[in-house]
């Protein structure tokens, strides 16, 4: 059984600016320290990434996985297509904007293809959420 984990981060930036960072999937390695490489496998008719393969560092080894993407006005979501050790990695970035503040809620449903205690799965998912939101916050802060 997988783990569902969420986290939020807020910026004093326009929603459009934050959405631009989140939809520039090929640039993820520049702000998310766990992502070593992203290979774009396909684009949709609007030039957005439709399918991408990631190589990430999970401390003890490297992990490869492929995701397909969907876009909405204030949301980027994905589903796992293929992976080395993951059996589930679906999620979304959901954006909202009020009073000059853009908030991103990052939610993932994640599971591994091996027996691990639930607490270890949850801790790994929470670490991934925190690392990603910290990198996103750094990337979106005004220079």
* Mean pLDDT, rounded, for 117-129: 71
Q: CB neighbours of 22 closer than 8 A, spacing ≥ 6?
A: 76, 93, 95, 104, 136
The stretch 121-134 carries a mean pLDDT of 79
Residue 131's pLDDT is what? Answer: 85
Residue 95 has pLDDT above 90, yes or no: yes
Q: What is the pLDDT of residue 117?
A: 60
92-118 average pLDDT score: 87
Q: What are the tens digits of pLDDT across the range 36-74?
A: 999 999 999 999 999 999 998 877 778 899 999 999 989
pTM of the model: 0.89
Distant-in-sequence, close-in-space partners of 113: CB < 8 Å, separation ≥ 6 = 83, 85, 86, 87
Query: Contact, 130 vs 122, CB < 8 A?
Result: no
Mean pLDDT over 64-89 rounds to 93
User: Are 95 and 15 a contacting pair, CB within 8 Å?
Assistant: yes
**How confident is residue 115, by pLDDT bands cut at 50, 70 and 90?**
low
Average pLDDT over residues 108-137: 78
């Amino acid at each position: 059984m997988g783990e569902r984990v969420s986290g939020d981060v807020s910026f004093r930036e326009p929603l459009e600016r934050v959405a631009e960072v989140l939809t520039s999937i090929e640039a993820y390695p520049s702000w998310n320290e766990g992502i070593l490489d992203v290979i774009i496998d396909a684009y949709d008719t609007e030039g957005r990434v439709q399918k991408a393969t990631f190589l990430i560092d999970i401390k003890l080894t490297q992990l490869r996985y492929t995701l397909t993407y969907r876009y909405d006005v204030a949301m980027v979501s994905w589903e796992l297509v293929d992976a080395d050790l993951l059996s589930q990695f679906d999620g979304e970035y959901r954006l909202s904007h009020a009073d000059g503040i853009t908030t991103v809620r990052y939610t993932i449903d994640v599971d591994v293809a091996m027996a691990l205690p639930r607490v270890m799965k949850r801790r790994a998912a929470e670490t991934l959420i925190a690392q990603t939101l910290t990198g996103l916050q750094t990337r979106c802060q005004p220079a």
